[in-house]
Amino acid sequence: MNALTSFFKRKVLRINRDRWNYQYDKGLWDGLKAIDELARFSVIVGYVKYLKPGQPEVMEVGCGEGLLQQRLQAQNYGRFVGLDIADVAVENARAQADEKCTYRVGDMDTYEPDGTFDLIIFNEVIYYSKHPLKTLQRFSQYLKPGGLLIVTINNHKRSDKLWNSIKDGFALVDEATTVTAKTTCVCKVLLPK
């Protein structure tokens, strides 16, 4: 199969959910387990432990196979809810989950969480939303008083524009930039205005 036909079948003929399931099933997201992803995950874990010590209730939107939850470890959260559009990823996350975790399949643009959270994390996913600012604002309604959003975005040609579209709806609490051999990533802690 030539490259154009392969691209067409992988990207055009599939709905988003099918495309994500295909990619996870083929191991195309296994790179998230590599060393060059360690810095980004470590910054998020550090923010969770510093900003909400003890047993916070955490939601991760776009959780994939649950790598953040695994790195965070059970003693650092009271409840962890992961959401992803890919059934395959969620199934893999559930296989690694502890009794305090719940993983759900859903689209971040339409999903309505159960309950409220101390932290809601969007780790390298907000640019997949049809309306990033509206999605962040909608999810911020599910934060407990004093709750925070943690958002990471890899630097690319549209990342500055995306951050600018987000900044009007949120106050910046802190930010960190990680640089690895493969990428530069900005992580921001946001407080709803």
The CATH number that applies at residue 45 is 3.40.50.150
pLDDT tens readout for residues 81-92: 999 999 999 999
Question: What is the C-alpha separation between 46 and 72, in angstroms, rounded?
Answer: 9
Any domain includes 139: yes
Whether the CB-CB separation of 88 and 24 falls below 8 Å is answered with: yes
pLDDT tens readout for residues 142-158: 999 999 999 999 998 88
Q: Is residue 140 part of a domain?
A: yes
Q: Does 26 map to a domain?
A: no
pLDDT at 11 over 80: no
- Report the domain count for the chain: 1
Question: What's the pTM value of the predicted model, to 2 decimals?
Answer: 0.86
Range of the domain at 78: 35-192
Residue 125 placed within a domain = yes
Within a domain: 123:
yes
Asked if the structure places residue 13 within a domain, the reply is no
In a domain, 180, yes or no: yes
